[in-house]
Structures are given as C-alpha cells and as structure tokens.
Structure 1
C-alpha cells in the first residue's frame, strides 16, 4: 500500500483526529494538550520528536539518506473569541484541520515505510494567531538544514471552491500601530484651558486617509480602535488608538509604516500633543517561489486533476508562515490554499467546512513531499 492509498483507508481516523483536536482548542502559547496529543501519535508511530523550552511547539523527524531536510508545517493554536455569548478558545481559523492533515501525512509516510533521499521534518508551531510562533521556531532551530517547506491553509469558498486547491496563497503584509495621545484635561465648560486628545485623534484619522504610496500594490490604513474619556462634562487627558495597516507587498508595508509615523509626528506638532506609538503584530507578505509552486501544482494535479487546479489564491489576510522565508530566503517554500466549502469565513465564530477536504488535503501534502524528495535543493 502506498501513502496515498493509506490515507484513503484512514478516512475515519482523519475525521476522528480532527474532532479530537477541535475539542482541545487552546489559545496562543498555551497549546499544551494539543501538542501532547500530536506528539503521542507521532511517538507511537516511531517518530523522533524534539521539543523546546518555553513553548509547546515541536518537530518530528524521519531520517532520510542525507541530512538535507524537506518539511511540512502546521499551526496549533486557536483564537479566543465570543461564541454564543461565551468567550473561549475556538478553532475558527482551521489550525486543527492543518494539524490533522500534517499529522496524517506524517503517519502515511511512516506506516508505509516509504524511503526518502532527504530527511523529512514535520513542524508543529504554536502562536500563529499572534504572529510569534514562527519566529520562535526559527530561533530554536526548527529550520536547521531545511531546503523545502510546505504548508496548507483552509480557504473560504469565495477564494477557492470545494474540491479545488491553489499551489500558493499570496497573503499580504499586516501590522498595527498602537498609540496614546496625551493632551491636557479640563472642564468641558472651559475648553480653552485644555488640549483635547479626541480632536487630535480626529485630525489623525483624516491625515492617515491622505497617505499615498504610488505603485507598490494594494494597501490600506484605517483606525480600528479609539478610546477616550469617562465623563460627559470633562475633556480627557488621553486618547488611546489602534491603526490597522495592510499591504500587498513587504516593500509597500515598509513605506506605509514610514509614512504613518511621519503623519503621527506632524499631527503631534500641529495639535501640540504628545503621541507615543508602538508597532505590533507584524506579519510579512508572501513571496512567490516558482520552484516550490511548481511542485505544489504537480501534487494538486496528481490528486485533484487539472480542472481543479487554481492558479493562485490571493488573500488580504496574513500568515506568520512567511516569516520562515523572510528570515531564511534560501528556503524554497509555498503554502497550499485548500478549497473546502468554508463558510461564512475564517475567524467567524461559526466557521464550518466540508471535512472531506481533510482527506484530499492530506493527500496533496503527502504527494508534495514525495515530489520535493525528487528535487535537488542545493
């Protein structure tokens, strides 16, 4: 039995594994039970598992004929959001599905004793939702000797339809600018004695809208939070705000951040306020790798056929998977966009998808590794 046949025979196990992971749902940096569950499945199958101090990420290895590594990555954490009036961890971004597919791909290779020229690594990463897990895994050496890295992400129906897959997801770059405007408090009856930070915030919103970047692709900047004041008859001292920044390219994001910081400084000078800012939650944009995309196309064609191959999936969302190549540009990498009849959308508290996609998604990932093993990644 080859790995693809093995996966087909394990359909019920795939579904059961997904449901078990879905129930575990743990927030970023707290994926203890999820990590333990996945590790045990791999250890029982004969994998060597390497854990790290300070977080629950881990890697599982299959030794090949040479030390150069081809790898798959899965994310493990859930969002914390309100679901039916209760705030709790909730797998509305599909990380439980990603972990299921990468786990079952690993088991399909181990159980069928397929021989690889390259060593094979399965990377299970924490804290994708806070854009910190990939950087931590890089810091801890999870990408040592890795030449090829594949990933997968469920896609909404309006991006990739059920039964189809794209060989690359072109995520944009995203970050936030959080800040505090410090004004001068005063009684509302004597506004001339104060300096209203809310008025400064309103000018800041309008000034940010005027930012123009030129030909760097699509981009946006908009205020998503503004908090100030506690009393109806008093000018507050502070206003706290957040701007969401998005760009189609990393170059565009660098320029957008620079222009936003210049704008903040101008408004502070104009309004005679003090504005302190920090940049948080940065994720880089995807960078196309033609060789990795070619392999993913081949894997999708083999499993789903030419009629179900999408050219690419363009997403305004973000993914910390792209830190792996930003920090290691020599690595050939791509993330497969998996059509799965996902509605109403990622991060929606009631997100759902057709779980049959887990089966063909696992097959695509497994075939991708088999294809990658045939290449010389030097």
Structure 2
C-alpha cells in the first residue's frame, strides 16, 4: 500500500498560512466584485431604454459630456456612489467583509492545524503511559500530520516496542538469574552445613564438591559481567592478525579429554592460511562456547564439523553437529539469556543458558553475526560471519 504523501513541518505551515492569506484576499475581492456586478445590473435594468443607451455611450466616451455622465451616475447610482470620504459605501462594505472573513479564516486555520494538535496529543498520551510503566503502548498516526511529526511518531512507537521487549527480557532474566544463582549457592551452603553438623565428613572429596558449586557460581557471575559490558557498549577488543585454524585447533586440544571420554570427533576444515584481524582471546572464547555447546547437547551425534566459506566481504564459519537439533519454534530464542530448549537444553547438563548469548555478543562486537539453523540433513548448524 502506497504511503500517503506528507510534507515537512515548514512546508506544512507555509502551505496553510499562504492558503489562508490568499483565500482571505480572494474572498474579499470576490465579494466586492459581486457587489459591483449586482448593483450595475440592477441599475441598468431600472433605466429606461433611451437613458440606458445614453449612459452606456457616455460610459464608453466620458469626455463627450462629462457633466451629463456624472448627472446620470448621481441620479441612478446615488450621490454616495462617488463619495471619496472614508464613510463611503465601498469602504464600509470592505470593513464588514474584514469583520466577517477574519473569524472564518481563523476557524479554517484552527481546523487546518487540527492534525498537528491531534498528533501531539497522541504522543503526549502515549508518553504519559510510558512514564507510568506501560511500555507496550503506541501513538496513533494522523495521516495529514507533517512528515517530521509522522517520523517522530514512528520512531516513538519503535522505541516503545524496544522498551517493551527489554522490559520483558529484564523480568525474565531476573527470575532466571535468581534461580541460577540460588541453585549452586544452596547446594554449597547445604553441603557446608552438613559438614558443620557432622552429616558429611570434612574431607577433600566434600570440599571439592563445595568448590565445584562455587566455581559454577563464579563462572555465572563472570558471564553476567561480560554481558553487562556488552549492553553498556564497554567491551574492549584487542585485535590483531590471528590464524583461525590454529586458534580453533588450540581450543579443540583443550577440550580433547572430554571429547575422548564421549568418543566425540571434531573435524577442523578451516584453511590453515586463513588469517583475520580479531581479538584472539574473545574469539577463542566464542569457539570454546560453540564446541562445548555441541559436546553438551549433541554428544549423541558423535561429531562436529567446522567449515569455512569465503564471500565477497566476509568469511563464514559453519559449526555443524549431528545431534537431534532444536525445534523450529525455539530457533528465534536460542540466543536469549537463560534460554534452553525443553528437549535438549536441560539444567542438569551444566549450562547456565548464557553461552550462546555471549558468543553472539562476541561475534557482533567484531562486526559480524552468529545465527542458528537446523541442518537439512539433521543436527544444529551455527553460522559465524566475520568481516575480512
């Protein structure tokens, strides 16, 4: 549907003011002209035929007999017709027209400005609702409002949608965060209380179990701190030329004991010569997250392959596992904080639901992107796009 034409605020005002000014002048001039036309028609109709012929001739040739012409004017039009004083009929009519036309033009002007007033009212009402905490409101757009005001309303509505989304995510995150923090903390406190009460012996095994919970809690806090830096646009990257094959191979070797334990195989097809200007620490963190994600949730597939494809402006790295994948309904939510699919992202697997959120943030900090899709032949495929 074609959007109706709208004008800039300056042009909007100029068109209406100019139209009202010209309209007032034209209306007054028309009324004066009609008054003359009607009076002239009426007088000529009342004149005898001979007198009318004489008058029309003298009006065309007043120098023939100016006295007789003025006499006929005074007789049939009245002496006030040619009265030059300020109280003449023409000036009086002009004053009456000004008095009548001015309120009419003011009324039309107010009516013309109504779209502007209504649009501001819609914005004020919506802004008041947002102030009261109702972020899901939107301001109605008046079709005849100026272009700047329509764009302002459009941006305002986009802002409220963003605020509503952030508010929903914040509320969800608070609930999930409370649960994630409570679980390891409760486990550690319960184990320590058991040792204090003599239920559990105070030996290295019990202390190791407590330490594991505290380490899990510490990692969760570090992940949250990382995401807070991203949200505040305070994440600093130390970029340098890095060989991606060697960086990925390093992370594979670091996780090799876990791969061997589950008989999980990783195929690194990244070209050894591929070098990009990236932050090695952060990109290595991203690689680790994607590898651990496959190890944790797709271990039944026994394999993950990493391929690299060059495009005109980017390199695309594909991390494909051969597990059960995720439902299509879950794909749009896969990068949200504390989100897990019911069938594969279970809390007992050890994940906090922040890993993929962190990986996506790292990719975007490098000017790239991270997306997910179910591979046509099965399994989940994560596509990392990095600029050259």
- Structure with bigger gyration radius: 2
Higher RCO (C-alpha 8 Å, min separation 6): 1
Q: Which has the higher strand share?
A: 1
TM interval, shorter chain, is under 0.3
Larger helix share, 1 or 2: 2
TM-score for the superposition, normalised by structure 2? 0.20
The alignment's TM-score, normalised by the length of structure 1, stands at 0.20
